[in-house]
Structure 1
Amino acid sequence: MIGVSIGYYMSTSHQYNLTGVHVHINLLGWTALTLIGLIYVLFPELEKKALAKIHFWLHNIGLPLMMISLFVMLQTGNMTSTPLVIGTAVGGTLVLIGVFVFAFNVLVNLKKSEA
């Protein structure tokens, strides 16, 4: 809802400075998590692994941190504020590690007979 609302705001106001936030929220917050959720529904044994919980927390802490920092950077035009740069870097790193943990979970724990 947030990603679509930002897209709606940009299209009606003709101000596209939040495109980066809009795209990341829709891709990482909607599309990627939808696909991940479908995989966990289809292969529930993956969800029971500690790796799934690690991925969940990394993704769901990292994405808001990255998006809030990026939002403020883009709204204010201040792309050099140390706390905001750190927020986007830390948030992005958490999401990246989370996605790798998810992929590792799938590659290691999804057995051929289950696929």
Structure 2
Amino acid sequence: MGKTFIKIATVYFSIGVLVGMTMGIIHDFRFTSLHAHLNLLGWVSTALFGVIYSIYPFAAKTKLAKTHFWLHNIGLPIMMIGLLCETLGVTAALPVMIIGSLAIVIGTLIFAINTFKTLNTNSIQNAKKDINA
């Protein structure tokens, strides 16, 4: 799960950089919000999820982690499409952005629950026992 998050983070980073470069080349900075969200939610947050799940692989093996993964990686593209449409003046884009944003928020809350649930002392000790067994 950690490697998958990191690989997807590099895709978001590449898209974010391309959006930023394109804005600079054409001197049209309307897509600054799209660029920022791709880099922060796509690159930074997704990469951090991947690093955390790599450090604590037992947390990555939970159903919560898989649910988090899908909510984040379905919600973020939906939110980005809505944000792009909103920037281009499509009036029906707000509900799309809200749906994508809610998926990301719910996924992030699931990540928090998973983190607190699995990264307690007992879970770490049990994981060490499993590794040494």
**What TM-score, normalized by structure 1, do the two folds share?**
0.91
Task: Give structure 1 regions of 4+ aligned residues with deviation exceeding 3 angstroms.
Answer: none
**Is 1:16–2:29 an aligned residue pair?**
yes
Match of 1:88 among 73, 88, 97: 97
Cα displacement (A) at 1:112? 2.7
Q: Deviations over 1:46-94 (max 9, x none)?
A: 01111001100100110000001111221x223xx23x11110000010
**What TM-score, normalized by structure 2, do the two folds share?**
0.79
SS in 1 for 2:29: coil
Cα displacement (A) at 1:14? 1.4
Alignment correspondent of 2:63: 50
Question: How many residue pairs are counted as aligned between the two chains?
Answer: 111
Alignment correspondent of 1:106: 115
Aligned partners of 1:3 and 1:12: how far apart in 2? 14
Residue type at the aligned position of 1:88: M
Aligned partners of 2:109 and 2:71: how far apart in 1? 10
- Percent identity of paired positions between Structure 1 and Structure 2: 41
Which structure 2 residue ranges, 5 or more long, are not aligned?
A: 1-13, 126-133
Match of 2:53 among 40, 46, 60: 40
Aligned partners of 2:83 and 2:47: how far apart in 1? 23
